[in-house]
Chain A
Amino acid sequence: MAEGSVLMHEEKQHENVPVYEFVNVNSSEFHIGTFRDLWLEVLNPEVYSHCTTAPEVEDVEFIEEMGIEPKTLEELKNICGADSLKSGHEDPDSLPSDPHLSTLKLRKRRQDYKETLTRDTLDRHEVYANELEMLSVGKKPESPGDLVPEGEMVLSFNIMYPVLFQRFKRVRAFQTVHVLGSQRLTELRDAICCVSDLQVFGEFSSTPDMVPQFISKDHYKSAFFFFNGTFFNDTRFPECRDISETTREWARSRGFPHFQTATMEDTSFYDLKMKVGFPYYYTHQGDCEHVVILTDVRLVHQDDCLDMKLYPLITHKHRVVTRKCSVCHLYISRWITSSDALAPTDPCLYCDQCFRMFHYDDEGNKLGDFLAYAYVDPGTFN
């Protein structure tokens, strides 16, 4: 019996070590909780702790382990010190004048080319967007209860734009989110910002002042994740329905393997079996579908953000150019009209002031024939 359990343990170990299913594309499936346990088994706790051991302690340990004399250690330190690697007097911001390395040659060519461009500096929006990742690095929480424990796993998810090849030629990540392994799926769901959540329904040409305050996010709360054959539904609110029902019925009638369901708020990431690099699925609002890819799973590091309250952490967000009003090109558009005889294009965007001035006279009567809808710009999340 003991042999059997040892064998099973080894098998379990073996199947939970992630390997490539397709090289450089995605990995095989593995259970995240077990994967974490496997790492913690093989590592010395000092290696992944958040604090560094004092150098003197390290030295003593080294001497004992290797059985050498302190003099040898001193010699080693002299030879292998990091300072010996530096070349000394050079300025890292400028390229050496006579590069031998092929990397430097390429970089020089690229830099020379960039100098010929008239406009190669980024505006401040781009600079801020690029630095988003660095905002939260190394942040420590105020209360120690919020400190991320050592040995926690950090998962990175890439949430993609809706894959509509008719409209968008390139598949691009919209957001990159870091979550902790102990968090629930609902927290990931809340971190995903999609513009369709903010849409307001209804045609308001006759009543421009009566735009209702509710948004689609409050109205249609159902959502599900689809990971590896299981639909995880959001059941926190009473209005949430199981929108995966239709898909499962369809699959059953076509002879696909039976899919299971589970709830989002009871499942943490440690309970999941996932493939790294494989596209998974998130649906909300009934039909707004997003592809979600788990790009990376790793142990938390001293230099990461260590404040639990900040997770799920958005590390990268793709910046969308905001659409301005067609009339003034100054303000962000809030109205969209169609079948408008007065407008140059169909559909046409307006900011609030231009819209009112253009379509309504002083008493507020509607001029002309048109349909107006409230418009939420995709760049709201910048």
Chain B
Amino acid sequence: MEHFRDPVKTDCEELLSRFQATESVRYEQFLEIWRDMNFSSIFYGKPEPSERRRFARLILSVVSPYFFPPYTFQIRVGGLFLLYGLFNSQLVTPREKIRISLKDWKDVMQFQRDAVNAQHYDVVYIFRKLLTDKAFYFTAMPIPLFYREKKEDGRKMKICEEFVDPSSRPQELVTTDMLEEIANIHEHYEGLKKSVFAEPDPNLDLIQKNLVPKLNGAILTYSSWQWNRTDSEQQDGGEGPSNQESSRRAQLLASIKSKSYGQAVEASKSRRHRQTQLVPAAEAEFSQKVTSKKKRKPSLKTRTQYLLNTQGNESEGLNVTRVWCMSAVKEEKAPEKRKKKFNWNPEKSSDPT
């Protein structure tokens, strides 16, 4: 079932990027795209035992993260609509539920408040409908955890960069309060210097005179460059949130991102001997990996054949009775059944897209 994760993610991201391109948060737009892609057919197919249920669980868990920060408001609305669509078009009864963990519930409530304030009635209606349909499981963690320390192979959920607000770390670092404080300290410092030395000594000029205005100017230049750069692809973040609010939220997003990617989680004391290390971004977040031994022992059949073949080669001249195929006559050969194993990941060339 894990093999379906990548195609599902591709499909969902395609739908969400098309929704993002419409630059609206209306449900009608979403419905158009849904119908155009015939997305409810994602559940179709010959029913295998419990496969439908497992698939429903998988797709709901893949789509859930799009409903939470750090994605933009529009993507979160798209995620909500997508969850609604999938929940209602799944084919199993009783229906599989959407998991929300406690740490994400606050974000959900904030999202609902934003939607109410912006008077996006369809968003609010759909969310309430999901609540009354009892579509949610209120859990501890977003997915059931089994302590699987698998090798990542880059299969971690990568956040699609287009769905997130552009980062604004400089703005977050240099805020108005911070500039005021620096200006204060600057004044104090200059005052102290003057009081100690009557004449200003050029050797003591260790800092820039106009530090604060320069900082301010740099940040403004950066942010205007950012806005100009993304102006052409800027999505409409909804009529609700004003610029100030979006920059505040952007700061919040940036802080969340930096927290999750910038710091390694400290291992608990019982695992002192294996502290985590901050590894550069391409690799996994923690260094405690169990190397999975994928070397498979050859099966009994192959081992027998190998043994008997070698024995046969040694005594070629003798009439060796072949123990394992006594019933088959030499002339008759069963048609060779090409029993290939199913290849989940075909080469790119053979898969016409």
Contacts and interface: CB of A to CB of B under 8 A. Distances in A.
A297 B138 CA distance: 9
Contacts of A338: none
A66 interface: yes
B94 A27 contact: no
Contacts of B164: none
Nearest to A155: B140
A298 B342 contact: no
Given A27-B145, A76-B125, A299 B94 contact: no
A133 B140 CA distance: 21
B105 A42 contact: yes
B137 to A, nearest CB: 5
Interface in B122-158: 122, 124-126, 128-129, 131-132, 134, 136-141, 143-149, 156
A116 B209 CA distance: 80
Nearest to B59: A103
B83 to A, nearest CB: 12
Nearest to B353: A102
A35 B10 contact: no
Interface stretch (A106-114, A182-190, A361-369): A106-114
B143 A101 contact: no
B110 interface: no
B141 A20 contact: yes
A213 interface: no
A295 interface: yes
Nearest to B152: A24
Nearest to B58: A103
A35 B140 contact: yes
B31 A95 contact: no
A41 to B, nearest CB: 10
A302 B132 CA distance: 11
Contacts of B109: 42
Interface residues of A, number: 83
Interface stretch (A83-91, A326-334, A370-378): A83-91
A127 B148 CA distance: 27
A156 B38 CA distance: 36
Contact of B11 (A92, A101, A138): A101
A81 to B, nearest CB: 9
B102 A96 contact: no
Contact of A93 (B35, B44, B146): B44
B335 interface: no
**Dominant secondary structure of chain A at its interface with chain B:** mixed
A22 B266 CA distance: 9
Contacts of A23: 156, 285-286
A79 B27 contact: yes
A47 B135 CA distance: 10
Given A27-B141, A42-B105, A297-B139, A92 B42 contact: no
B85 interface: yes
B121 A277 contact: no
Interface in A101-139: 101-111, 113, 122, 126-127, 130-131, 133, 137-138
A5 interface: no
B103 A87 contact: no
A106 B3 CA distance: 9
A22 B46 contact: no
B11 A18 contact: no
B140 A130 contact: no
Interface of B: 3-4, 7-8, 10-11, 27-28, 31, 34-35, 37-47, 49-50, 85, 88-89, 91, 94-95, 97, 99, 101-103, 105-106, 109, 116, 119, 121-122, 124-126, 128-129, 131-132, 134, 136-141, 143-149, 156, 265, 268, 285-286, 288, 293, 342, 344, 346, 351
